[in-house]
Chain A
Amino acid sequence: MTLSLFFQHLANGISLGSLYALIAIGYTMVYGILRLINFAHGDIVMLAAYIAFYGAAIFMLPWWVSFLLAIVLTALIGIVIERSAYKPLREVPRIQLFTSAVAVSFLLENLGIVVFGGRPKAFARPAFMDITIRIGGANVVSYTFVIIGVSLILFAALLYVVKYTRVGVAMRALSKDIETTALMGVNTDRIISIAFAIGSGLAAVGGILQAIKFPQINPLMGVMPGLKAFIAAVLGGIGNITGAMLGGFLLGVAEILIVAFFPNLAGYRDAFSFGILILLLLFKPTGIMGEVEPEKV
């Protein structure tokens, strides 16, 4: 393999990985606070892409207005889902919360098929993101830089929020113990809503960037990336934001490289990702950055 080809693969892998990372963060935030695997997360990705699509295609909004609108609306939808499907179940065994998440996921997918139609739609890429640039023998389209840039900026902003703001402190406290945090005078419902809004907002960015990279959207577009992001979150150590980022990038690059080095195994690419998940759960369920925590009694 020549060096330029390797760079080509690496560029492809990193741009795929940033998408996984953005979606993985939402999984990890919700899990960190509620111990809930929010399986509807991938479908929120889909909703954002459709809102952005309709904003630009039907209402003729400039692309940045429709993207912003999609992010805000999706964050609100995230809050509504939490309030209606998860909050009433906070006191019951967690398996029911999980079941409710799966139900929301199916509801959104099928609603998507009914409302948006089953046929895929073409997503228009803003012109400045559609320029092919040649760097050291590798062809890179300008959206790749946008995806990586946006991801890094959002990661930095999120880390700042979680580490240094009052909301961030409250979130971290919630993830340790909800009841005690409530006793300290923290409005837990509000913090949980904010966590869902941030997670869904990031998923929205992920959805829009995914639609830019792969300009074909359909009601089931969030399923696979959602599962992959879940693997990335587990890989990085679920509950850990830096881990989710790392896991996303790693998974994206690994997926591309496995096809690059073993073209005959290209059809088993997804099997490879899920194989990683199984091995992780068997041998290192805490992932790369996760910490072992004693089970609360």
Chain B
Amino acid sequence: MRSKKFSLFISMLLLLSLLLGACAQAAEPEAVEPGEAAPAGEELEEIVIGVYEPMTGAQAAGGELTMQGVYLAHAQVPEVLGVPIRLVLVDNRSDKAESATAMTRLIEQEGAIAVIGSYGSSNSMAGGEVAERAGIPVMGCSPTNPLVTSDKQFYFRACFIDPFQGRVMAKYAIEDLGVERVAIIQDVAQDYAVGLAAFFQAAWIELTGSDEGIVAFTSYQTGDQDFTAQLAAAMAENPDAIYAPGYFGDAALLARQARELGFEGYIMGGDAWEAPELIEIGGEAAEGLIFSTHYHPDAALSPTSAQFVADFEAEYGERPSAFAALGYDAYMLVIDAIERAGSFDPALIRDAMAATEAYPAVTGNITMDANGDAVKDAVILTVEDGEFVYLTTVSP
């Protein structure tokens, strides 16, 4: 009996210390006001730039590709205003709830003065709410849904947005591929995919004058493995092309099953298709897939691209993906903003980010518009002999 009471006492004590610890940690960032610390820059040992990316889960490949670029940029520019930068990566597990947690941890526990991320619009929207309340500026690398930055003072991005991307693909399908009947199959669980499907549809209606060409519009859920029902129903309408704006893993299975069911038309998608998995899992069905994305080494969208490709190949022994390029750009944009702000005050960094103008990034010159979105070219790629091959560049 005595020992039971004693253990109860000990556990209460542990609980109490845990609570105290948590309070102390939460209070830490406030104790060191970044704004006040800024003038005495030399005294700072390091500053923290946080990164939240999906390193596990359905979008892990996108997170890993992005991090290649972020790490390369950090290796090239390891300090800013004379203070070393500590890069802290938190995995958001391709999950909305985890993204909010990851952002909270970066800001409250790690004391990040700026954050980079995330691959996946849904992840970014969840993290953005937290950053907005805390007043920490975020540079998105590849979230393309317009809602990521709209109504947000502290969220910016290095990429174009989906109204543009949807239009690019609709225009290419109609004018270059001669598609007259298209079936849309969207991932209904992803803001990115739902948005892109809607923007593609809107652009299609605008370009052809009616929605008659859209012969089927159906959905699946992230992680679904069986698309045969949707495909068979869509194919009954005899489409020339299928537009399936989802993520690479699901898209690879979808393409495979479409070919198995005997579909011979074009299969098209968006930037989230760009990952080695699309080709590995898609196998032969990946051949001839067409999608829009941000960058390709052969597209040479900017003067800095060649140097980046050379550095990247020296570091990783392979050619960079669009996401690696955007990760690199996002990091460099944060550094650029801190340098122009001349301070580590998140509010000043935010203002500098908003004022970014004609920054010579790898993926093209970046000027932030009123929403904090970069206005840039898109490239269209296809898969040929197991490689992503550059087809054309489309300007806004």
Residues of A within 8 A of B (CB): 1-2, 5, 8-9, 12-13, 16, 113, 117-122, 132, 134, 139, 141, 210, 213-216, 218-221, 224, 255-257, 259-260, 263-264, 266-267, 269-270
**What would 6 more interface pairs be, CB under 8 Å, given A9-B232, A216-B281, A259-B229?**
A8-B232, A9-B228, A122-B283, A218-B249, A263-B233, A263-B234
Known contacts A259-B233, A263-B233; A122 and B221 CB within 8 A of each other: no
17 residue pairs A–B, Cβ–Cβ below 8 Å: A8-B232, A113-B56, A118-B55, A119-B277, A120-B58, A121-B280, A132-B262, A139-B261, A214-B253, A215-B253, A256-B228, A259-B218, A259-B233, A263-B218, A263-B234, A267-B189, A270-B221
Known contacts A5-B236, A122-B277, A214-B253; A266 and B260 CB within 8 A of each other: no
- Contact partner of B281 (CB less than 8 A), chosen from A120, A221, A257, A266, is A120
Contacts of A13 in B (CB 8 A): 229
Known contacts A122-B280, A216-B252, A263-B218; A256 and B60 CB within 8 A of each other: no
The A-contacting residues of B in range 54-89, CB under 8 angstroms, are 55-58, 60-61, 64
Known contacts A119-B277, A139-B260; A263 and B55 CB within 8 A of each other: no
Contacts of A117 in B (CB 8 A): 60
CB distance from A270 to the nearest CB of B (A): 6
Residue picked from B56, B60, B189, B223, most chain A C-beta under 10 Å:
B56
B203 at the interface (CB under 8 A from A): no
- CB distance B236 to A2 under 8 Å? yes
- CB distance A5 to B232 under 8 Å? yes
CB distance from A15 to the nearest CB of B (A): 8
- CB distance B260 to A132 under 8 Å? yes
Known contacts A9-B232, A139-B261, A256-B229; A215 and B283 CB within 8 A of each other: yes
* Assembly CA distance A9 to B232 (angstroms): 7
* Assembly CA distance A2 to B238 (angstroms): 13
* Assembly CA distance A276 to B188 (angstroms): 21
Contacts of A1 in B (CB 8 A): 236
- Interface flags, B253-283, vs A, CB<8A=1, else 0: 1001000111000000000000001001101
Contacts of B224 in A (CB 8 A): 269
Contacts of A122 in B (CB 8 A): 277, 280-281, 283
- Interface flags, B230-258, vs A, CB<8A=1, else 0: 10111010000000000001001100100
- Contact partner of A266 (CB less than 8 A), chosen from B230, B261, B262, is B230
Residue picked from A218, A255, A266, most chain B C-beta under 10 Å:
A266
The A-contacting residues of B in range 330-389, CB under 8 angstroms, are none
The A-contacting residues of B in range 162-179, CB under 8 angstroms, are none
Residue picked from A12, A119, A132, A210, most chain B C-beta under 10 Å:
A119
Q: Which residue of B lies closest to A124 (CB)?
A: B283
* Assembly CA distance A260 to B261 (angstroms): 15
CB distance from B122 to the nearest CB of A (A): 15
B216 at the interface (CB under 8 A from A): yes
- CB distance B226 to A216 under 8 Å? no
- CB distance A120 to B249 under 8 Å? yes
Q: Which residue of A lies closest to B220 (CB)?
A: A266
- CB distance B229 to A266 under 8 Å? yes
Q: Which residue of A lies closest to B237 (CB)?
A: A263
- CB distance A267 to B277 under 8 Å? no
Contacts of A8 in B (CB 8 A): 228, 232, 261
Interchain Cβ contacts within 8 Å, total number: 103
Q: Which residue of B lies closest to A131 (CB)?
A: B260
The A-contacting residues of B in range 188-229, CB under 8 angstroms, are 188-189, 216, 218-221, 223-226, 228-229
Known contacts A113-B56, A141-B260, A215-B256; A12 and B232 CB within 8 A of each other: yes
Contacts of B277 in A (CB 8 A): 119-120, 122, 216
* Assembly CA distance A256 to B253 (angstroms): 16
* Assembly CA distance A218 to B58 (angstroms): 8
Q: Which residue of B lies closest to A221 (CB)?
A: B225
CB distance from B201 to the nearest CB of A (A): 14
Contacts of A134 in B (CB 8 A): 262
- CB distance A216 to B249 under 8 Å? yes
CB distance from B236 to the nearest CB of A (A): 5
Contacts of B283 in A (CB 8 A): 122, 215
* Assembly CA distance A113 to B229 (angstroms): 30
* Assembly CA distance A2 to B236 (angstroms): 9
Contacts of B216 in A (CB 8 A): 263
* Assembly CA distance A218 to B281 (angstroms): 12
* Assembly CA distance A270 to B56 (angstroms): 23
Q: Which residue of B lies closest to A264 (CB)?
A: B218
- CB distance B261 to A119 under 8 Å? no
Contacts of B188 in A (CB 8 A): 266-267
* Assembly CA distance A151 to B283 (angstroms): 27
CB distance from A58 to the nearest CB of B (A): 15
* Assembly CA distance A8 to B227 (angstroms): 13
Contacts of B256 in A (CB 8 A): 215
Q: Which residue of B lies closest to A11 (CB)?
A: B228
- Contact partner of A9 (CB less than 8 A), chosen from B219, B223, B229, is B229
CB distance from B215 to the nearest CB of A (A): 11
Residue picked from B55, B219, B234, most chain A C-beta under 10 Å:
B219
The A-contacting residues of B in range 88-123, CB under 8 angstroms, are none
- CB distance B260 to A260 under 8 Å? no
CB distance from B224 to the nearest CB of A (A): 7
Contacts of A5 in B (CB 8 A): 232-233, 236
Q: Which residue of A lies closest to B61 (CB)?
A: A119
Residue picked from A117, A139, A219, most chain B C-beta under 10 Å:
A139
Contacts of B261 in A (CB 8 A): 8, 139
Contacts of A219 in B (CB 8 A): 56
- CB distance B56 to A118 under 8 Å? yes
Contacts of B228 in A (CB 8 A): 8-9, 12, 16, 256
CB distance from A141 to the nearest CB of B (A): 5
Q: Which residue of B lies closest to A257 (CB)?
A: B229
- CB distance A267 to B221 under 8 Å? yes
Contacts of A269 in B (CB 8 A): 220-221, 224
Contacts of B260 in A (CB 8 A): 132, 139, 141
- CB distance B233 to A118 under 8 Å? no
Contacts of A121 in B (CB 8 A): 280
- CB distance A118 to B230 under 8 Å? no
